[in-house]
Chains A and B, each alone.
Chain A
């Protein structure tokens, strides 16, 4: 169930509660009326209580439905958030390993350059090739740091899910705040809703496959019409 559907059910529950409140109020008015007309109106009390009971059962059923809806949507959101956080961990680890591997290779290349320098007649051509490879390795290390941008977007998404859940919990608590005493001004971090500044689907996975899709679309758009 989507967040918006859960929100709808929540609002419907709130509306149902208002209906029950109105119904009880009407019953109360009715009993006062009965009392004025006939002081022996106690005979109608069982029917009045039955009607009230039916309304309360209806509201409880609606509340159970809304609770189930909220639980499902919350569980879904938490599952997605959990996956995102796992991917952040994985991407961070992959990047660290790639950088460490590149460091190892770079260190080996420096050792080879030292060995060439130590020779009576250094092989300049070989040293030049090694330096070029060394530059490639250093550049590869920098490229591996792209994970930071992707994981930053994943964390922003996870943060937005938590803020959304917090807001919905506030909404639920307001439903039961009949006296309007709710102090629901929870301080949400200023940077929590950077809507538009992150992609909820950002991932480090299958970059080649995703690039191939983009290439296919752009190539197709440039192809002359048949």
Chain B
């Protein structure tokens, strides 16, 4: 299963990708912002993990664009962000993300959220 990991922090991309590899997902592609992600997204991507605050295009904007596309309408999108006030979480939900992880996160939290969304990815 191919994961698209979107974050403007190279450190975070590496941490997320290492976490994915540790739980058995080795097929990953990374992007530095929403625009970069759109250029790398295709039907082979089965799962998107994205940050919120990024230059050029934010994670919520990316989510809205993907949700408007036939090939992105159903792909599981997991938001991993430092933003954590209630209004932000609701905004992300309205944009169309499937679940939400607050930074800094534990590998266990990442695994739980991915496991919960695997049936969506497989559908």
Q: Give the distance in Å from the alpha carbon of A211 to the alpha carbon of B15 in the complex.
A: 18
Q: Give the distance in Å from the alpha carbon of A34 to the alpha carbon of B120 in the complex.
A: 88
B11 touches A211 (CB 8 A): no
**Closest beta carbon of chain B to A192's beta carbon, Å:** 13
B93 touches A146 (CB 8 A): no
Return chain B residues, CB-CB under 8 Å to A143.
15, 19, 104, 106-107
**A206-226 toward B: CB 8 Å interface, digit per residue (1/0)?**
010011011101100100000
Return chain B residues, CB-CB under 8 Å to A221.
93
- What number of residue pairs across chains A and B have CB atoms under 8 A from each other? 89
Count class of interface residues, chain A: 20 to 34
**A178-220 toward B: CB 8 Å interface, digit per residue (1/0)?**
0000000000000000101111011110010011011101100
Q: Give the distance in Å from the alpha carbon of A152 to the alpha carbon of B89 in the complex.
A: 21
**Closest beta carbon of chain A to B76's beta carbon, Å:** 13
A148 touches B9 (CB 8 A): yes
Q: Is A147 an interface residue (CB 8 A)?
A: yes
Return chain A residues, CB-CB under 8 Å to B7.
149
Complex partner residue of A146 from B12, B52, B85, CB under 8 angstroms: B12
A196 touches B58 (CB 8 A): yes
> With A149-B12, A217-B93 known to touch, is A207 a contact of B18 (CB < 8 Å)?
no
Closest 7 CB pairs of A and B: A210-B84, A202-B82, A146-B104, A149-B9, A214-B100, A210-B102, A197-B55
Return chain A residues, CB-CB under 8 Å to B93.
217-218, 221
Q: Is A1 an interface residue (CB 8 A)?
A: no
B90 touches A139 (CB 8 A): no
- Chain A residues packing against B (C-beta within 8 Å): 139, 142-143, 145-150, 152-153, 194, 196-199, 201-204, 207, 210-211, 213-215, 217-218, 221
Q: Is B99 an interface residue (CB 8 A)?
A: yes
User: Which chain A residue has the least Cβ–Cβ distance from B51?
Assistant: A149
**Closest beta carbon of chain B to A120's beta carbon, Å:** 34
Sample (30) of A-B pairs whose CB atoms are under 8 Å apart: A142-B15, A146-B11, A147-B104, A148-B9, A149-B9, A150-B104, A153-B53, A153-B82, A194-B55, A196-B54, A196-B55, A196-B58, A197-B53, A197-B54, A199-B81, A201-B82, A201-B85, A202-B83, A203-B82, A207-B105, A210-B84, A211-B84, A213-B86, A213-B89, A214-B100, A214-B102, A215-B100, A217-B90, A218-B93, A218-B100
